[in-house]
A and B are shown apart, each in its own frame.
Chain A
Amino acid sequence: MEATQTRPMGGKQKEINVGRTERNASMVGGAALALSGLTTIAKRRLLPGLAMMAAGGMLMYRGKTGHCDIYESIGLDTGGSEDHGLTVEKFLTVNRLPQDVYEFWRHLENLPSFMRHLASVEVTGERTSHWKAAGPGGISVEWDAEIVEDYPGQLIQWHSVGDAEIPNEGLVEFREAPGGRGTEVKVTIRYYPPGGAAGKIAAKVAHALNAMEIEEDLKRLKQILETGETATAARSNGHH
């Protein structure tokens, strides 16, 4: 088959090389990323925040203009090919029994206490739940999820259902660590950046940062379960 995409040669205007679904998703995902970058900066005032904002800003720009400099710089033009998602895999040992860690996680309303990007998780049925992630300027991303595997003290597997903006699935496994070292928690999150391969490549820019966020989430989970609170150097409850 021949490539059907036509590219006007020598045009001065930046061409649209990002599909429409993906453009919308870029707006949402980019805004969310830019926000989480801002949050990171407010929290740590450090470089990763800036990088995240840059990635988020790039995505938003892409969504608005339909043009992506990164695609251009790597000579890629995406129309609608399929992708296989991006996977983050993280391990952490928590000094609590597997059953305790499992129960805390299985009580899905607890997730926003350590997953900073989540505003809320509402349990809607024995296996179903409604997730909200906060975005900037009142934008929020919402989706429904369903637990597909549930082995108490061992693992929980879930995936988004319906028309989630960013389809995703997750697996968390709990294994007793040797010698009374607690529980080895393994988290696998797979998400499907919208808009096919295009979205995937855009998301790759932010992927390392997402992976880092998930790692930070896990550390907060550990802090809450082990110490009953989240570590902070804040000197006040205000905006320091």
Chain B
Amino acid sequence: MKAVCWHGKHDIRVDKVSDPEIVNPRDVIVKVALTGICGSDLHLYNGKIPTMKPGDILGHEFVGEIVELGSAVTNLQRGDRVVVPFPISCGDCWYCKQGLWSLCDNSNPNSFLLEKMYGDTGAGIYGYSHLYGGYSGGQAEYVRVPYADVGLVKILPELSYEQVLFLTDIFPTGYQAAENCSIKPGDTVAVWGCGPVGLMAMKSATQLGAANVIGIDRFPDRLEKARANCNAEVINYEQADVAETLHNLTGGRGPDACIDAVGMEAQGTGLEAAYDNVKQTLRLENERPIALRQLIRACRKGGTISIPGVYSGFVDKMPMGAVFAKGLTIKTGQTHVHRYVRHLMQLIQLGEIDTTFIITHRMALEEAPGGYRLFNEKRDGCIKIVLNPKLQAGASA
């Protein structure tokens, strides 16, 4: 089969590899219908996540059709159209039973690596380095899906693959980020990053009752999506002082909750950005937590910092004094996707939320290398690329 493989920093290739097989009784094989390139895939593309190996198949956002079932999977059938949550979760450990699916005890065969780094492990993730289990990803024609009996959700017949693709990751991720804000009537939620997760977070915040939503970015087309599709006020951080604008937009209080939908590769301006760039380049610091520092500064007293953006190591100059003095609550972590898929699919079915507006590029699987480059350089208004294994190269829309 064809698969999008990582071969090194900025080196993505479409390789011919062997088809996956059923290995464990609870596995199924999914024939991929659509698969997304996630913003977090760019961290891999840019070589920021350790333990990638040449030939690793990328991708953790994919939907498709079941073509083969393991002996223990009795609740699904061949031909079922399914959403595959990006965390691989067993459904049986204490964490899964608590609904903390992305903290699954059992699904990461390389758990000892994360234990060394963080003190404990999280769930395995498709196509996201050997730290997260070394599982082959979904940017391929076929994928082996473990624990399918608890992981997969059947797609309602009236919904298209495109309508539900983002239930695999970014919609639940944005939704969990908004839910973590404990939104109350009258709340203003500010979202750093108007990429796919940021846009989903804004939509979700409104859905959960936020009175005002503010989007922060530097790309005009992304800000326009936030304004037009998410009814957000927008701030271009290259043209305005973020803290001051937020201060003014909230009557001097600051946002009730701030969402960091940027993560460890934040861009910034001025001396602070230069400081982090140099330190990250020299490997003295894993992250450029520029957005995160701004969030903490801007958030109102007693407010909430919600972090769906990915961090993997150490950050410098964290303003813990401000966190303490303002009594902030910080909520973060990988998304417990399994918790949200059914509910959010209903919202899509009811027409309350449409997520397809973020798609800017539809491409063939073979076009993934160019897609990664385009997405990384944020050229051509690129916000979200969806790969379709059935498309011929050159037929992109």
Binding site for B on A (CB under 8 A): 44-46, 48, 93, 95, 181-182, 212, 215-216, 219, 222-223, 226-237, 240
Can you list 24 contacts pairing A with B, beta carbon distance less than 8 Å?
A44-B109, A46-B110, A46-B130, A48-B112, A93-B94, A182-B94, A212-B112, A215-B112, A216-B112, A219-B111, A222-B93, A226-B106, A227-B26, A227-B92, A227-B106, A228-B25, A228-B26, A229-B26, A231-B107, A231-B133, A232-B23, A233-B134, A234-B23, A236-B18
Determine if B93 and A230 form an interchain contact, defined as CB atoms under 8 angstroms apart: no
Q: Does B347 have its Cβ within 8 Å of any Cβ on chain A?
A: no
B22's nearest neighbour on chain A, judged by CB, is A237
Over the window 67-88 of chain B, the binary record of Cβ atoms lying under 8 Å from chain A Cβ atoms (1 yes, 0 no) is: 0000010000000000000000
B26's nearest neighbour on chain A, judged by CB, is A229
Contact partners of A222 in chain B: CB under 8 A: 93, 105-106
Report how far A181 CA is from B23 CA in the complex, Å.
Answer: 29
Determine if B92 and A95 form an interchain contact, defined as CB atoms under 8 angstroms apart: yes
Determine if B112 and A233 form an interchain contact, defined as CB atoms under 8 angstroms apart: no
With contacts A95-B97, A226-B106, A227-B90 known, is A232 near B24, CB below 8 A?
yes
Contact partners of A234 in chain B: CB under 8 A: 23
Shortest CB–CB separation between residue A181 and chain B, in angstroms?
6
Contact partners of A182 in chain B: CB under 8 A: 94
Query: Contact partner of B18 among A216, A219, A223, A235, CB < 8 A?
Result: A235
Secondary structure at the B interface, as helix, strand, loop or mixed, is loop
Contact partners of A216 in chain B: CB under 8 A: 112
A223's nearest neighbour on chain B, judged by CB, is B106
Given contacts A231-B146, A233-B134, 7 further A-B contacts (CB under 8 A): A46-B113, A95-B93, A216-B112, A223-B90, A226-B90, A229-B26, A233-B135
Interface residue total, chain B, C-beta cutoff 8 A: 33
Determine if B21 and A235 form an interchain contact, defined as CB atoms under 8 angstroms apart: yes
Q: Which of A44, A45, A46, A226 has the most CB of B within 10 A?
A: A226
B144's nearest neighbour on chain A, judged by CB, is A235
Report how far A230 CA is from B108 CA in the complex, Å.
Answer: 10
Report how far A240 CA is from B21 CA in the complex, Å.
Answer: 11
Query: Contact partner of A228 among B21, B72, B109, CB < 8 A?
Result: B72
Query: Contact partner of B21 among A93, A215, A236, CB < 8 A?
Result: A236
Q: Does B147 have its Cβ within 8 Å of any Cβ on chain A?
A: yes
Binding site for A on B (CB under 8 A): 18, 20-21, 23-26, 53, 72, 90-94, 97, 105-113, 124, 130, 133-136, 144, 146-147
Report how far A93 CA is from B106 CA in the complex, Å.
Answer: 12
Report how far A1 CA is from B25 CA in the complex, Å.
Answer: 65
Shortest CB–CB separation between residue B147 and chain A, in angstroms?
7
Query: Contact partner of A235 among B53, B94, B97, B136, CB < 8 A?
Result: B136
Shortest CB–CB separation between residue A49 and chain B, in angstroms?
12
Determine if A226 and B92 form an interchain contact, defined as CB atoms under 8 angstroms apart: yes
Query: Contact partner of B24 among A48, A93, A215, A229, CB < 8 A?
Result: A229
Report how far A75 CA is from B4 CA in the complex, Å.
Answer: 55
Shortest CB–CB separation between residue A177 and chain B, in angstroms?
9
Contact partners of B134 in chain A: CB under 8 A: 233
Shortest CB–CB separation between residue A37 and chain B, in angstroms?
15
Report how far A35 CA is from B21 CA in the complex, Å.
Answer: 27
Contact partners of A229 in chain B: CB under 8 A: 24-26, 72
Determine if A231 and B18 form an interchain contact, defined as CB atoms under 8 angstroms apart: no
Shortest CB–CB separation between residue B26 and chain A, in angstroms?
6
Contact partners of B105 in chain A: CB under 8 A: 95, 222, 226
Report how far A234 CA is from B111 CA in the complex, Å.
Answer: 15
Contact partners of B93 in chain A: CB under 8 A: 95, 222, 226-227
Contact partners of B107 in chain A: CB under 8 A: 231
Report how far A119 CA is from B21 CA in the complex, Å.
Answer: 26
With contacts A95-B97, A235-B18, A235-B144 known, is A44 near B110, CB below 8 A?
yes
Report how far A236 CA is from B124 CA in the complex, Å.
Answer: 18
B94's nearest neighbour on chain A, judged by CB, is A95
Report how far A95 CA is from B107 CA in the complex, Å.
Answer: 14
Shortest CB–CB separation between residue A169 and chain B, in angstroms?
26
